Amino acid sequence: MRIHTLSASTKPWYRRPRATTRPADFPTLLATTVATLHSAAAHAPCVLASSLSAEDMVLFHLVQREQLAISSFALDTGRLPKATLELWTTAEAHYGATIERVTPVSARLAELEATQSESAIYETKAARELCCTVRKTEPLRAALAGKRAWVTGLRRAQSAGRASVPHHEHDASFGLEKFNPLADWDDDALWYFIDLEQVPVSSLYDKGYASIGCDPCTRPIRFDEHPRAGRWWWEAAVSGTATECGIHVAHKPSDAKAHQTTGVSA
Distance separating alpha carbons of residues 52 and 201, to the nearest angstrom: 8
Residues 6+ positions from 114 with CB-CB distance below 8 Å = none
Amino acid residing at 7: S
| Helix pair angle (54-65, 187-197), 10° resolution | 50
Distance separating alpha carbons of residues 3 and 167, to the nearest angstrom: 36
Residue 43 parent element (H or E): none
Say if CB 195 and CB 165 are below 8 A apart.
no
Catalytically annotated residue among 131, 132, 217, 245: 245
**Is 245 designated active site?**
yes
Residue 55: name the closest of 165, 133, 130 by CA: 165
Q: Which residues are catalytic?
A: 245
